[in-house]
């Protein structure tokens, strides 16, 4: 019996990594963790408590107290939570508190699929498969606009593009686990791919890289 199949999927906001992670997890029968929800949950805990997002000590306490049940709040999917999560994720104490949480999830006997921004570089550096999913900022903004419109959330396309560029800059420049492709990750650009084509390419990569 081979090593557990851990699939680490990283990439910037709205690159399609979450959709691919869910589909790959379903295909291989593996548990899936959207690690971005952890940071959104920390941000939401601060907001609900009326605490400033810049309060690093409070953010670290919220991260240490996080439970799996806290990941089911529908508010975590709101656009504002993405921006808030990007802010708290730059706090080193928050990332440290959530690291063991993520590694425990990935350490199950069958393996797991995790998507985020530092899975292949920090959380699961020994993952059998590492993918870095990307797309142009303009295409990612179009996808996010469609997603928000489908949920009935109004947002100007220009504002969404500005948010994405700001998040890219913040996520890539932070000192704690910046967004970047692991040295041994395969980069998949989904700019010109629809969801099914992106999944077909990702599945082929997982089969090849995981020796399945």
Binding-site annotation, residues for ATP: 11-19
In the chain, how long is the greatest CA-to-CA distance? 51
Q: Estimate the crossing angle of helix 157-173 against helix 79-88, to 10 degrees.
A: 20
* Residues contacting residue 150 through CB under 8 Å, at least 6 positions apart: none
Tokens 């040295």 correspond to what residue?
183
H or E segment to which residue 200 belongs = helix 195-209
Q: Where are the beta strands (DSSP E) in 43-152?
A: 111-116, 129-134
CA atoms in the 13 A half-sphere facing the CB of 148: 19
Sequence length of the chain is 212
Please report, to the nearest 10 degrees, the dihedral formed by the alpha carbons of residues 32, 39, 90, 126 taken in order: -20
Strand order across the 111-116 sheet = 32-34, 111-116, 5-10, 129-134, 186-189
Number of H helices, E strands in the chain: 8, 5
Q: Which residues are annotated as part of the binding site? A: 11-19
């Amino acid at each position: 019996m081979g090593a557990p199949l851990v699939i680490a999927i990283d990439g910037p906001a709205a690159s399609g990594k979450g959709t691919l992670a869910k589909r790959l997890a379903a295909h291989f029968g593996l548990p899936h963790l959207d690690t971005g929800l952890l940071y959104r949950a920390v941000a939401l805990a601060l907001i609900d408590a009326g605490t400033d997002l810049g309060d690093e000590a409070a953010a670290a306490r919220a991260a240490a107290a996080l439970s799996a049940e806290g990941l089911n709040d529908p508010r975590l999917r709101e656009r504002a939570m993405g921006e808030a999560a990007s802010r708290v994720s730059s706090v080193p104490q928050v990332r440290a508190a959530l690291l063991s949480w993520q590694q425990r999830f990935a350490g199950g006997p069958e393996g797991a699929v995790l998507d985020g921004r530092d899975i292949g570089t920090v959380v699961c550096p020994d993952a059998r498969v590492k993918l870095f999913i990307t797309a142009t900022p303009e295409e990612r903004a179009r996808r996010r606009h469609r997603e928000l419109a489908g949920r009935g959330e109004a947002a100007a396309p220009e504002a969404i593009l500005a948010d994405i560029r700001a998040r890219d800059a913040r996520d890539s420049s932070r000192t704690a686990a910046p967004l970047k492709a692991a040295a041994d990750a395969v980069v998949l650009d989904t700019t010109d791919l629809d969801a099914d084509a992106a999944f077909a390419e990702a599945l082929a990569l997982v089969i090849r890289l995981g020796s399945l």
